[in-house]
Chains A and B, each alone.
Chain A
Amino acid sequence: AQSVTQLGSHVSVSEGALVLLRCNYSSSVPPYLFWYVQYPNQGLQLLLKYTTGATLVKGINGFEAEFKKSETSFHLTKPSAHMSDAAEYFCAVFGWQFYFGTGTSLTVIP
């Protein structure tokens, strides 16, 4: 079975500060892992994904995530937050089906 846990339903950072959104997964098969972003009144857009190979993956808008098998984690980071990063972020795991976390709402403080 697969599942995803996102720690922290709300995260606030100052503009220019590091963004760290946490995601832990469980999967009985080698997982494919995804981060999606949802801007207000929009659908979800793919930020980045891990399938196989390099464990540090880079996505759009300066985001990146590192797959750590030993920690069953796939945390999302961005070195410097921008106001436009304010959104809801969802971690997802695909084993046989997609399973989404409950989401983390990111607020960026000017």
Chain B
Amino acid sequence: EAQVTQNPRYLITVTGKKLTVTCSQNMNHEYMSWYRQDPGLGLRQIYYSMNVEVTDKGDVPEGYKVSRKEKRNFPLILESPSPNQTSLYFCASSLPQRGSNTGELFFGEGSRLTVL
């Protein structure tokens, strides 16, 4: 089954304790991205990756890191989490828009993070 898998789905942590949210897709997609969803703000892009070893900042990258060492994985790293990073996080992937591919995003089920 084609899917984007995120782990953990739920996490409560404390300020300053490094954590990693993993994201893996099995569709051989080149493009992957991370979003955070906050009430009234919709989805805001944190980081994205066009392909292996190619990453770039989205609209709200502060406090986050990513890496793309393999095509299928795109982990999100919070080196020193703070309470304002409490949010619902989504990983998504897609094929690039070329030919018949229209580039729609496929989303994971989300990771709800609480930073105390």
Residues of A in contact with B (beta carbons under 8 Å apart): 9, 32, 34, 36, 41-46, 49, 51, 90, 92, 94, 97-98, 100-103
Contacts and interface: CB of A to CB of B under 8 A. Distances in A.
Contacts of B97: 32, 94
Contacts of A101: 42
Contact of B104 (A41, A46, A97): A46
B48 A44 contact: no
Contacts of B110: 41-43
Nearest 7 pairs between A and B by C-beta?
A43-B107, A102-B42, A100-B43, A44-B107, A43-B109, A51-B102, A100-B42
Given A32-B103, A42-B110, A43-B108, A98 B45 contact: yes
A90 B97 CA distance: 20
B41 A34 contact: no
Given A43-B90, A103-B42, A98 B102 contact: no
Nearest to B100: A51
B105 interface: yes
Chain A contact residues: helix, strand, loop or mixed: strand
A109 B112 CA distance: 29
A97 B97 CA distance: 11
A86 B42 CA distance: 17
A55 B33 CA distance: 28
A45 B108 CA distance: 10
Given A44-B105, A94-B97, 5 more contacts: A34-B104, A42-B109, A90-B43, A100-B35, A103-B42
Nearest to B109: A43
A9 B40 contact: yes
Contact of B103 (A9, A44, A94, A102): A94
Q: Specify which of A32, A92, A98 lies most central, judged by the most chain B CB atoms within 10 Å of its CB.
A: A98
A41 B48 CA distance: 23
Contacts of B42: 90, 100-103
